[in-house]
Amino acid sequence: MIFEVLVVGPLEVNCFIIGCEKSKEGVVVDPGGDADRIIAAVSRLGLRISRVINTHGHFDHVGGNGEVLKRTGAKLLIHELDAQFLSRAADVATRFGTTAENSPQPDGFLEDGMTISVGDYRMEVLHTPGHTPGGCCLLIAGEGLILTGDTLFAGGVGRTDFPGGSHTMLIESIRTRLFGLPDATRAYPGHGPATTIGHEKRHNPFI
């Protein structure tokens, strides 16, 4: 599997480029900004991007959607409950003292349990509300890894003081959806370093 992480945008979001070596099909997850860098990486990897996927709708994760979609011809997927955030990205970014582009509306919606094919690989969508109503994680079980968005971090959890957030739901999502995975599962969050599910079960002070 082709797997590359780029730290992009004003809030240093982890943008993931995932692809199949055989088919050269790829997806971009959370293009929060720096679209030129993302496109350059896609070109270097020789991938054809079929979908852009947002783990949730906050501006720092969707700010590069428009440009990446325009330059790749990909389709946009996000959970239906977070689609409301896409047209507000620029306004919310201003409140944080920075800028972002509003995102186009999605071409389809992520649903809990759905499978997204990327060539020979399969990504399972886990709906993990709490940070946002439509927050999702993306599990690639065959590779032993999961993208946790802003649900779970190394040594931390997502904020729940934004509109639509719920601390109770976030902790429930982590305990029931993520902590049931094998301890060795590598967890790649929306910000900061990677970790493992086992490490967070034993040491995360917020759980």
pLDDT in tens, 181-204: 999 999 999 999 999 999 999 999
Average pLDDT estimate for 3-7: 98
- What does the pLDDT read at residue 97? 94
Q: What percent of the chain has pLDDT over 70?
A: 100
Show Cβ contacts of residue 119 under 8 Å, excluding neighbours closer than 6 positions: 19, 20, 21, 22, 23, 24, 25
| pLDDT band (50, 70, 90) for residue 29 | very high
Least confident residue range of 2-6, 12-16, 96-100, 116-120 = 96-100
Strands 115-118 and 121-127: what pairing?
antiparallel
| pLDDT band (50, 70, 90) for residue 80 | very high
SS3 assignment for the chain: CEEEEEEECCCCEEEEEEECCCCCEEEEECCCCCHHHHHHHHHHHCCEEEEEECCCCCHHHHCCHHHHHHHHCCEEEEEHHHHHHHHHHHHHHHHCCCCCCCCCCCCEEECCCCEEEECCEEEEEEECCCCCCCCEEEEEHHHCEEEEECCEECCEECCCCCCCCCHHHHHHHHHHHHCCCCCCCEEEECCCCCEEHHHHHHHCCCC
8: closest CA among 67, 90, 66, 64? Answer: 64
Give me the chain's average pLDDT, please.
97
- What does the pLDDT read at residue 184? 98
In this prediction the pTM is: 0.98
Q: What percent of the chain has pLDDT over 90?
A: 100
Average pLDDT estimate for 16-44: 98
Six token digits for residue 56: 């949730």
| pLDDT band (50, 70, 90) for residue 79 | very high
Six token digits for residue 173: 């999502």
Show Cβ contacts of residue 145 under 8 Å, excluding neighbours closer than 6 positions: 3, 139, 185, 186, 187, 188
- What does the pLDDT read at residue 169? 98
Domains of the chain: 2-203 (3.60.15.10)
| pLDDT band (50, 70, 90) for residue 44 | very high
| pLDDT band (50, 70, 90) for residue 28 | very high
Average pLDDT estimate for 55-75: 98
